[in-house]
Structures are given as C-alpha cells and as structure tokens.
Amino acid sequence: MAFQVTSTSINPNHAKGSTYMALRNPVVLRLTLATVALITCSCVTVTLVPGADKVKLTHNAADVAACKAVGNVSAQPDLNRQFVEFQLRNRTVGLDGNALFYTTTLEGTTDRMRLPEIEALPLHDSTLVSVDMSWKEARCKMTLLLSTGKHRLDFSNVTMVRIPRESPWGPSVSVNSASVKDGVVAIEMQSGDTIEIAAREVEFSAL
C-alpha cells in the first residue's frame, strides 16, 4: 500500500526483506512471492529511474505512521536481492512515493549461476566477512556483506583456493572487483590482494 506524507523521518537502514511502504506520498509495498514469476540474474538488469536512489527504505512501521498510503507495489523476486530492491524503488517513484516499507522478506533465495555471471553481481564495496573451505566436500563458501544484507557465494567442485593477505595497498576488508577467466574467479580486494578460486559451479544466496 502506498502513502502520502508531508514530512517524516525515515531510518535508512532496512531489514533483509522485500516489501516497503513509500512516503512522499509514501507507499506500503506488499510483495507476494506466490504470485510473481521467478527470474534469474543471467538475463535481467535493472537500472534506477531518476529519483529512485533517494527513496527511503525502512522496516519500522513507526517510520511511516504519519504517511498517506498511495498504493501497493510488488517486484519479481530475482535471485539477486539488489535487482529486487531496484524494482521496488522504481515502482515507488512511479506512484510518486519517496519511502518504502518492507512487509515481507526474500530471505533464503538461492541462485545457481555460471561462473562468468559473478562479474555482474554488485560486489564492489561489499565487505568480505569470511572464506571457509571444506577439503572433504571440495566446497568454498565466501560470506559477504552487501548494502542489502549478508550474502554467500558457495563454490563447489573446487580445485584451487588462493587467499593472500599481504595488503600491498593497505588494510581493507572491502571488495574492489570480481572477474572470471579460464574457470578461475578472482576477487580483488581494496587491500590489493586477489583471492582466487577455481571451481565448476557457484551459488549466490541471501542469508
């Protein structure tokens, strides 16, 4: 449902969910997963429309208590959470809203990807939390903190992992870029180190 508001204060931090209420004429969004089609990030890109980057996101109903609802919005639950957020932001702007209130979550969605698709993920400036390797299972799990919450890259059939921590550019826990060549994923850190993982398959999931 969408809302209209004269003035309000919105907490910019939002929960790991996917339905929002928009403010200006704010909007309460209801995302019904059962009624929308799943799509994969291999064929989807979403660009923010003008003003969408200024939409405030919140999971606290008190933040939108003074808002006037202007409509409901939903988004196709892509397995990349940022795509979902961009869709919700764009549709909030389309209703002349300026704030979004989450009412449902997208936790636990998982996307089985081809290795080259990692390059399209919004990993720049994300925080590397941990890298865990299971020798027995030949799996490597990389936990990352994105602007939309914690996510995991789960590599399987792993044949090589290289994790230098020399920090030639200075200490940093932030990711600079991700690239793939000849079956090897290279995660360049802003410390100047490059983590390399050779694997056959990878899954990207929201935690």
Radius of gyration of the chain (CA): 19
Give the residue extent of every domain in the chain: 2-101, 110-206
Q: Which of 12-16, 45-49, 136-140 has the highest average model confidence (pLDDT)?
A: 136-140
**What digits encode the pLDDT tens for the residues 48-67?**
888 888 888 876 666 766 77
Task: Report the predicted TM-score, pTM, of the whole model to 2 decimal places.
Answer: 0.52
Q: What CA–CA distance (Å, rounded) separates 81 from 79?
A: 6
Q: Convert the pLDDT of each residue in 69-116 to its tens digit.
A: 666 777 655 556 677 788 888 888 888 888 887 655 544 455 677 888
pLDDT score at 76:
59
Give pLDDT, residue 113.
75
Phi (first) and psi of residue 141, to 5 degrees: -115, 125
Per DSSP, 157 falls in state: S
- State the pLDDT at residue 62: 65
Whether the per-residue pLDDT at 120 is higher than 50: the answer is yes
The contacts of residue 84 (CB under 8 Å, 6+ apart) are 18, 75, 76, 77, 78, 106
Dihedral angle sign, alpha carbons of residues 56, 61, 64, 68: positive
CA distances from 140 to 132, 158, 161, 180 (A): 6, 7, 8, 16
pLDDT at 15 over 70: no
> Which is it for strands 26-28 and 149-156: parallel, antiparallel or unpaired?
unpaired
The confidence score (pLDDT) of residue 162 equals 97
Angstrom distances, CA of residue 197 to CA of 94, 121, 180: 42, 16, 9
Element housing 92 (H / E): helix 81-94
Q: For residue 189, give the nearest of 169, 170, 174 by alpha carbon.
A: 174
Task: Annotate 7-35 with b (16+ C-beta within 10 A) or e (fewer).
Answer: ebebeeebebbbbbbbbbbbbbbbbeeee
